[in-house]
Amino acid sequence: RYMAPIPNAIDWNGFVWPGAVIDTNHIAALATTEFGPDDVFVVSYPKSGTTWCSEVLSGIVHEGNTEIIKPIDMLDRVPWLEINPALMPLKPPTTNPKKRVYFTHLAVHLLPASVREGKCKVIYVARNPKDQAVSYYHFHRSAKFLGLQTDLAWKDFFTFFCTGIICCGGWFEHVLTYWKFTQNNPNAVFVKYEDMKRDLVEEMKALENFIGVPLNEEQRKKVIDHCSFDSMKVSKFMRKVSAKC
C-alpha cells in the first residue's frame, strides 16, 4: 500500500526506493567505489537536517569562502551519493575544497566498503523523531518523486513510519545501527540536529577538528551567517535542493 503512489517504486534489498530518482544498480556498484581520507560523508535519515549540515560542512571545507559557494547549487558541491547518475553524475566539485563532501541516506550495510572500513570521515546527523516524522510526512505530500501524496493521512503515514515500510526503512533501525557504527569507528561521529541549533559555534568547532580543517573566527562567522535559517530560506539553491531531496 505504501508503494502504490510512488512513481516507479522499487522493492530492493529490504527497502522501498523512489525509482524516479534512485537507480539500485548504481547503489550496488557503489559497494566497490573507493573513497579515502579526503572524503567526508554526511549521513542521515531523511528530513533530519541533512541540507543544513551539508551546507555547514561545505562552508568549512571551503574555509569560510562563502562567495565561492553561494552561486553554486549545493548538490554540485555536496553530491547525493545514491542519486541516479543519469540525473546527476557523481563527480568532484570544481571549487577545489580542502575535502570532498557527500551526503547519503543509505543504511550502514549499503555504504561503499571503503566508507564502512573507516577510510574516510562519516558524520551521522540524528533528529528528534517527533519533529523528523512530521517533516517527513509533509515531504511525502509535497515531493514529486514520492508521488505528491496530498491525500496521505497522518495515521497511515505514522503506521508506515513505525513499521519501517517507508523509503529508507525505519527511523529507529537507521539511527541505532549508525549509533553503533559511530561507537566502533574512530572516523565516524554522531551529531544531533538539536545540538547544532542550540550552539552552532561549538558544534562547528568540533566538526572542524574532526575533519581536520580548522577555521579562524572570521571564517567561522561567514559560514554561520551563510547557513543561518533566514539566509537559507531565501536561497533559490536551497529551495532547489529541498525539492529534490
Q: What is the pLDDT of residue 228?
A: 84
Q: What is the pTM of this model?
A: 0.93
Q: What is the pLDDT of residue 232?
A: 64
Catalytic residue among 62, 105, 174, 226: 105
Task: Read off the pLDDT of residues 9-25 as tens digits, 9 standing for 90 and up.
Answer: 999 999 999 999 999 99
C-alpha–C-alpha distance, residues 8 and 50, integer Å: 24
Q: What is the pLDDT of residue 127?
A: 98
Q: What is the pLDDT of residue 233?
A: 59
C-alpha cell at 106: 543509505
User: Could you give the count of Cα atoms lying within 13 Å of 140 in the half-sphere of its Cβ?
Assistant: 23
Ranges of the chain whose pLDDT falls below 50 = 237-239, 241-242, 245
Q: What is the pLDDT of residue 92?
A: 81
In angstroms, how far is CA 194 from the centroid of its own chain? 16
Looking at beta carbons, which pairs linking 207-215 to residues 24 or more positions away fall under 8 Å?
207/56, 207/57, 207/60, 207/123, 208/60, 210/121, 210/123, 211/40, 211/57, 211/60, 211/61, 211/99, 211/121, 211/123, 212/99, 213/60, 213/61, 213/63, 213/98, 213/99, 215/60, 215/63, 215/64
Q: What is the pLDDT of residue 237?
A: 46
Q: What is the pLDDT of residue 245?
A: 43
- 105 is a catalytic site residue: yes
Task: Read off the pLDDT of residues 174-209 as tens digits, 9 standing for 90 and up.
Answer: 999 999 999 999 999 999 999 999 999 999 999 999
Structural domains of the chain, ranges and CATH numbers in brackets:
9-244 (3.40.50.300)
Sign of CA dihedral 200, 101, 211, 181: positive
